[in-house]
A and B are shown apart, each in its own frame.
Chain A
Amino acid sequence: MISVTEQKPWEEIAQSIDKCKSVYIIGCGTCTTILHTGGKGEVLAFKDKLITAGKNVTGWMVIPTACDEITKYALEASSKEIAGADCLLVTSCAYGVQRITQWTDKPAYPAVNTLFIGKEDGNTYSEVCHQCGNCVLAWTGGVCPVTSCPKGLLNGPCGGTNKGMCEVDSTKDCAWTLIYNRLEKQGRLDLLEKEQPPRNYQAVVRPGRLITK
């Protein structure tokens, strides 16, 4: 699983840090590195852009996994350079940004938008789980309609199935065609005849929280 991100337009970043004279940049060595949205190369490119824009860059680092506890120690280790900056420009995903702001009072500006948590197939990243708290994969042949159908339908396809593709995006498979094909192969089509009740949104009361013993 990977946190899938895309870079914000430079204009938006420039505008948000407009009042900051000096900036410290933090990248992430995991997901944004894989996607080339916020690894070392991108951090250095941002450094050049900031300098060109007349900013002073007090330093930079790429935390191996910004959403991890290691972030706390990384921030401590670079505390002097961070203290000299008016703000942080963070190229990790939103999880990393929230970890960083947990341990520093410096204003942090995300350089990327976090799109979804998904799986990686070559250069294609796709969402696989909405974390709905009520897993239905047992009777859908392992294809999640909550995630893969744009309408999250539980009782079969809408009228928008277009030759097995989805009306919302003609390059995406209709989740219910995939489910049908899988279950047919497994000889389990009877599972689709069952009427599914409305989803229970209380299964995960947002924001989700779980306290383990």
Chain B
Amino acid sequence: MATPFKEVLNSGKFVVTCEIAPPKGTNLEKTLHHIDLLKDKVDGLNATDNQSSVMRYPSLGVCLLIKERGGEPILQMTCRDRNRMALEADLLFAYSRGVNNVLCLTGDAITVGDHKQAKAVFDIDSLQLLRTIRTMEAGKDLGGNDLDGVPQFCAGAIVTPEAQPIEPQLIKFRKKVAAGAEFFQTQAVYDMGNLRKFMQVARPLKTKIMAGIVLLTSAGMARFMNTNVPGIFVPQALIDEMSKAEKGKALQKGIEIAGRMIKTIKEEKLCDGVHIMAINKEETVPDILAAAGL
């Protein structure tokens, strides 16, 4: 049995979570392999929710698999594909099956994904989803009706420490803390100086911050993210380091860099933990952890 995530968060230990991508289809083989590989190495496994607006096996389904295999699931919930009733119903279902950790997200825009003609919902936003969870825990649904059986969650949210401009992002961040976000998994941060700056703002607030670590797989990928992913900035020095890697060794270099950043974050006690996103390379997470000395 995995330790409940809430307990880990409150233990003061350096928290490590990572991301599991649900499959596009019913073939669960790879997902199960990743769960089995990582469930005992990290404190929580996030199951992504139609990530990047690409339709996939549901996050709740992957959370149940993680639970069955003895891991600690973190249910990612976006507000893009479900209205408030559907989100509330899924929260009830999740809790009833032992899925007690939720990461509340707004969700990417429909237009970036693979169902471009679909209707975007956004009935509520990430902050209101957090509030919904706290309301349900108090025994009420959003219609003001009593619940017969009340859920209890460990609820978290996300923040982009390098958003430009940063001020509106920080206002929303503070509102999320006020709405009861117990933890934050941040957007990828590569510039430790910028992370330190963000943490000066975040530290006084009563919440746990886990720095987002996205594995670099090549210099090209780093450049692509700089151009195309809002809020991600890979410093030129890291891009140079990636491009200098020997042929066929770029992934190895990316693992080394991720490990180095995690080590810095832990040693400097910069954040309360890290959230590793090894997109499509989940099998490298044990190597990243080893490189970080974890």
Contact = CB atoms under 8 A, between A and B. Distances in A.
At the interface, is chain A mostly helix, strand, loop or mixed?
A: loop
B77 to A, nearest CB: 14
Given A150-B120, A168-B109, A162 B125 contact: no
B168 A198 contact: no
Contact of A161 (B109, B111, B125, B168): B168
Interface in B142-183: 142, 158, 160, 163-165, 167-169, 171-172, 174-175, 178-179
B128 A156 contact: no
B169 A155 contact: no
A159 B106 contact: yes
Given A151-B120, A159-B106, A193-B171, A198 B142 contact: yes
Contacts, number: 100
A192 B226 CA distance: 29
Nearest to B174: A193
B179 A195 contact: yes
B231 interface: yes
B231 A161 contact: yes
A44 B178 CA distance: 62
B164 A162 contact: yes
Interface of B: 80, 84, 106-109, 111-112, 120, 122-128, 131, 142, 158, 160, 163-165, 167-169, 171-172, 174-175, 178-179, 187, 230-231
Given A161-B168, A198-B142, A155 B230 contact: no
Given A159-B158, A161-B165, A198-B84, A192 B171 contact: yes
Contacts of A179: 168
Contacts of B171: 156, 180, 189, 192-193
A193 B175 contact: yes
Contacts of B125: 151, 153-155, 158
A149 to B, nearest CB: 9
Given A151-B125, A162-B230, A192-B171, A157 B164 contact: no
A197 interface: yes
Contacts of B231: 159-162
A206 interface: no
A60 to B, nearest CB: 35
Interface of A: 150-164, 167-168, 176-177, 179-180, 184, 189, 192-193, 195-199, 201
B175 A161 contact: no
Nearest to A169: B111
Contacts of B163: 157, 159, 161
Nearest to B160: A159
A58 B108 CA distance: 51
A156 B160 contact: no
Best-surrounded residue of B123, B125, B142, B231 (most CB of chain A within 10 A): B125
A68 to B, nearest CB: 32
A164 B172 contact: no
Contacts of A159: 106, 158, 160, 163, 169, 187, 230-231
Contacts of B106: 151, 153, 158-159
